[in-house]
Amino acid sequence: MNGSFDVVVVGSGIAGLSAAVSALEAGASVAVLERAAREERGGNTRYTESFWRMRDRDTVSDDFDERLASNAGGHFDPEFVKDAGRPYEDWPRPLRAFGFTDPELIRVWGEDAGPALRWLEGFGVRWDFLPTYFPYQSTTRIAPVGGGLALVEALAAEAERRGASLFYETAARGLVRTEDGEIVGVEAVQHSRPCRFLGRVVLASGGFEGNAEMLTRYLGPKAQWTRPVARGGYYNRGEGVAMGLAAGAAPAGDFGAFHAQPVDPRSGAIEPVLLHYGYGVLVNRAGQRFTDEAAGPVDAGYERVARAVLEQPEGIAWAVFDAGLDDAPHWRVTVRSGREPLEAPTVGALAGAAGLDPAALSATLAAYNAACPEDVSAFRPDGPDGLATRGLAPPKSNWARPLLRPPFRAWPVICANCFTFGGLRIDTSGRVIDLDGDPIPGLYAAGETAGLYYGDYTGATSVMRGAVFGRRAGRHAAGAQ
C-alpha cells in the first residue's frame, strides 16, 4: 500500500493525534501510521491517567517553570549558554543544536498548555482535579475524566470525522529524502509488506522503552532489570528517534535516563505502582537499606527512589513494614498492584518468605529502630513530618518510626520505565533541528520522540507536552504557521 498526503504522522498517542487533528483543521490531508492494532492504539497515552501540571484549566502550576529549569541538564558552560536569554532568532547555530531544556520550549509550553486543554474540551473531553495515587501532593494537577484513553478516543474520532487515513499495524522503518535533504515521506511495513507514504513527516512514535537493544546501548546492562510500566510502552521501539538521528537530527534529552516508577514486579496491572515505601524501609537482596525512603514529598521523589532500586543487585528491593503501616489510613491508595503483600508474625519468617537472609534483615531493622526518635507522636502520614533517624547511613528524613509490631509485611519493588528521555531536538514549531542548528526541511517531532527531559522527570507534564507540541507541529507541517 502506498499513498500521498500533505502530512504523514507516525504514532497515534497524544502527540501524534494532536498533530493529525491540527493539520486536518488547517486543511491538510493526513495519514496516521500506528504499529498497534486499532483496539490498542494510543501508545503510552492510552494507559496513563494523564495528569497535567496545572493550577486551573488555563494556567500551569506555580512551580512549572522552576521544576523544568531545575531538570535542564548537567553543568553547562555559562559562556556557551548565555545567549539562551536572547530571542531565539539571535541564538548562535551551535546553541540551537545543543541538548538542554530549551527555555524557549518551556515558555511556549507554558503559554500553550491552557489553550491545548481548552482545545481538547472542544472534542468532548471533560477535566477535573481527580484523586491521584500519592498520599499527598506538592503541586497542582488536573486530568481528563477517563484518563489518557479519553484523549485518544476523542482525538481519533475527530481525525476520522475529518477524513484522516489511519493505518493500523503499520510501522515506520525509514525516511524518504530528496537529494537536497528534504524529508518527503516514510518507508513503512504493514503486515510484513513494504509500503511508502509521501508527505511532510511528524514523528510521534514514542521513545525506545520497548527496544531491548537501544535500552542496553544507552543504559547499560542494568536495562535488563527494568520493563515498560504499561502495555503501550512495548510498542515504542525507537524507530522515530533512530530515523531522525540517521537523518542528521541533533540529539536532545538524557539518553541514559528514563521516567522511572517503583512498581510491583508480580503485577501485570496498568502502572502497578507502590508508593507507600516511605512508611517503612527498603532493603535489597542482601537485606540492607540503600536509600533515604522519605527524603521529601513522595510525588517529587519517587523517581529517585526507583532509580536507586534499579542500581541494586538484580534491580529489585523489598518494601518492609510492621503493623504501623495502618496508621497511614490512605496507604492503600498508593498501592496499585492488586497483589497482596507477604505477611509473617516475625521478621525472620518474613525474610524467609521473601528469600532474604533472616539475620541480615533482623540486623538492618535493629539498627534502623535504634536510630528512630523515641518520641514519634509527631508522626503525620499526609506530608513530611520531620521524624528523622539519627546517626544512620543512609538516613531516613521523615516518617522514621521503629518497626516492631507484628504482623510484618513486605512487597517486592522494581524500577519500571514509563518512557525514555533521549530523542530529537526540536524548535517551538516542532521542526527537527539538525546538528548545525538548522531545521531539517519536512521533518517534525513531538511527544517522547522529541527529547527534552534530563535527570528527573517533572511530574504530570508528559501528556501536556505531547498535546502542546503535537498541535504546533501539525499546524506548521500543514502550512499554518
Cα–Cα distance between 199 and 23 in angstroms, integer? Answer: 12
The pLDDT of residue 4 is: 97
Whether 202 and 19 have beta carbons less than 8 Å apart is answered as yes
Nearest Cα residue to 175 out of 164, 183, 163, 165: 183
Q: How many CB atoms lie within 10 A of CB 90?
A: 9
From first to last of its 481 residues, what are the pLDDT tens digits of the chain?
689 999 999 999 999 999 999 999 999 999 999 999 999 999 999 999 999 999 999 999 999 998 888 877 777 888 888 898 899 889 999 999 998 888 999 999 999 999 999 999 999 999 999 878 777 677 889 999 999 999 999 999 999 999 999 999 999 999 999 999 999 999 999 999 999 999 999 999 999 999 999 999 999 999 999 999 999 999 999 999 999 999 999 999 999 999 999 999 999 999 999 999 999 999 999 999 999 999 998 888 999 999 999 999 999 999 999 999 999 998 999 999 999 999 999 999 999 999 999 999 999 999 999 999 999 999 999 889 999 999 999 999 999 999 999 999 999 999 999 999 999 999 999 999 999 999 999 999 999 999 999 988 999 999 999 999 999 999 999 996 5
Lookup result for grid cell 521542526: 431
Model pLDDT, residue 416: 98
Q: Do the beta carbons of residue 116 and residue 468 sit within 8 Å?
A: yes
Residue 265 phi, psi (nearest 5): -70, -15
User: Hey, is 107 helix, strand or coil?
Assistant: helix
Domain residue spans in the chain? Answer: 2-257+421-477, 260-416
378 vs 118: CA distance, rounded Å: 43
CATH of domain 2-257+421-477: 3.50.50.60
Q: List, as one string, the DSSP characters of 232-295.
A: GGGG--SHHHHHHHHTTBPEES-TT-EEEEEE-TT--SSS-BB--GGGSEEE-TTS-B-S-TTS
CATH fold match for the domains 2-257+421-477 and 260-416 = no
Q: Using an 8 Å Cβ cutoff, are 58 and 27 in contact?
A: no
pLDDT of residue 1: 67
Exposure string for 444-462, b = 16+ CB within 10 A, e = fewer: bbbbbbbbbbbbbbbbbbb
HSE-up (13 A, CA, CB side) for residue 412? 16
Is the peptide bond preceding residue 394 cis, with omega within 30 degrees of 0?
Answer: yes
Residue-level pLDDT at 74: 76
Q: What is the pLDDT of residue 481?
A: 57
**Which residues, listed in sequence order, are joined to residue 262 by a DSSP beta bridge?**
415
The CATH number, out of the four listed (3.40.50.720, 3.40.50.800, 3.40.50.300, 3.90.700.10), of the domain defined by the range 260-416: 3.90.700.10
* Backbone φ/ψ region at 104: left (φ over 0), alpha (ψ -120 to 50), beta: alpha
Element (H, E) at 31: strand 30-34
